Amino acid sequence: MRRPSTLFGLLLALLIVSAGPGLARADAPHKILIADPFIELHTGPGRGYPVFHVIERGREVTIVKRRTDWFELRTDRGVQGWAPREQMIATLEPTGEPLDLQEPARENYMSRRWQAGVAGGDFAGASMISLFGGYAFSDNLSIELTFNHIIGEFSNSYSATLGLMHVFVPEWRLSPYFTLGTGVIHTEPKATLVQSLDRDDQIGYVGGGLQFYLTRRFMLRSEYRNNVIFTSRDDNEEVDEWKYLGFAFFF
């Protein structure tokens, strides 16, 4: 039981660290004015939670926090509840300007720089779990790092690849892209098989895919790659790789 205890200690430390800023948050309160005839406060951040309070026009409230599209508000009388984004759009800053929700919308999608996500797929008949992250130099061109965990019937592999990705028409909601890169693949044969050595090989790939802007900061992706594994044997190995569905977000 030595390993679980270290893991548990680490988790506990993580919890304490993450709780720290949460408990000791002392920012200046963000106050806004209600501009709609009234705002309804729900008991929780969701449409299913009941309305228990109403704040009328002209009253000043404090934004406590935001969760997804819901904002927790506190009135000067100390009543605390959640209001949806649609109602928050009609509120004003104390300066009289409309509240800026700093929304990562379609316009930001064009100017995105960082992107990360996960995908599931198939690598030469084996199941694959993929993690990727990228940085865009321009609207079209970005560099992308991908880690794959490939779990097959006869062997397990890990691969790390670095490549360039070119999005043809970045302003389209559904846009095709082209990708090209290289990396390494580490293969471990399964323990139940006759022992053969672990091996590290270089890998090169060319591929293409589609990315679809979903909403807010989220995207869906689907990708095909044709890999060439430069083995130490006489022949190189060609492998088809499909990422059936990937989920990505930009920031």
Partner 1 sequence: MEVSGLRLLFLIALAATTLPGCALFRRGEAQLPPASTEQTAAEPVTGEPSDKPIIDPQVERREIKRTRIDTEDFEVGAYVGVLSIEDFESNVVYGARLAYHLTEDFFLEATAGQSRAGRTSYENLSGSADLLTDSERDYTYYALSAGWNALPGEIFLGKNRAYNTAFYLVAGIGNTKFAGDDRFTVSGGFGYRILPADWIAVHFDVRDHVYDIDLLGEKKIVNNLEAHLGLSIFF
Residues that bind partner 1 (CB under 8 A): 1, 3-4, 7-8, 11-12, 14-15, 18-19, 21-22, 25, 27-31, 43-50, 63-72, 93-96, 100-102, 118, 120, 126-127, 129, 149, 151, 156, 190-192, 216, 218, 247
Task: State in angstroms the smallest separation of the CB of 130 from partner 1.
Answer: 10
Question: Which tokens is 128 given?
Answer: 């694959």
Residue type, 103: E
Task: State in angstroms the smallest separation of the CB of 127 from partner 1.
Answer: 4
Measured in whole angstroms, the distance separating CA 104 from the mean position of its chain's CA atoms is 13
Specify the residue, 67 or 173, whose C-beta has the smaller distance to partner 1. Answer: 67
Q: Is the distance from CB of 166 to CB of 141 less than 8 angstroms?
A: yes
Specify the residue, 188 or 240, whose C-beta has the smaller distance to partner 1. Answer: 188
How many CB atoms are located within 10 Å of the residue 107 CB?
8
Specify the residue, 44 or 176, whose C-beta has the smaller distance to partner 1. Answer: 44
Residue type, 12: L
Rg of the chain, C-alpha, whole Å: 25
Specify the residue, 54 or 193, whose C-beta has the smaller distance to partner 1. Answer: 193
Specify the residue, 194 or 235, whose C-beta has the smaller distance to partner 1. Answer: 194
Which residues, including other chains, have CB under 8 Å from residue 165's CB and lie 6 or more apart? 134, 141, 142, 143, 144, 177, 178, 179
Specify the residue, 7 or 141, whose C-beta has the smaller distance to partner 1. Answer: 7
Task: State in angstroms the smallest separation of the CB of 180 from partner 1.
Answer: 27
Q: What is the 3-state secondary structure (H, E, C) of 46-89?
A: CCCCCEEEEEECCCEEEEEEEECCEEEEEECCCCEEEEEHHHHC
Task: State in angstroms the smallest separation of the CB of 109 from partner 1.
Answer: 16
Task: State in angstroms the smallest separation of the CB of 167 from partner 1.
Answer: 23
Instruction: Give me the torsion for CA of 229, 230, 234, 238, rounded to 10°.
Output: 20
Which residues, including other chains, have CB under 8 Å from residue 88's CB and lie 6 or more apart? 71, 99, 101
Specify the residue, 50 or 234, whose C-beta has the smaller distance to partner 1. Answer: 50
Instruction: Give me the torsion for CA of 236, 161, 119, 215, rounded to 10°.
Output: -140
Task: State in angstroms the smallest separation of the CB of 206 from partner 1.
Answer: 26
Task: State in angstroms the smallest separation of the CB of 146 from partner 1.
Answer: 15
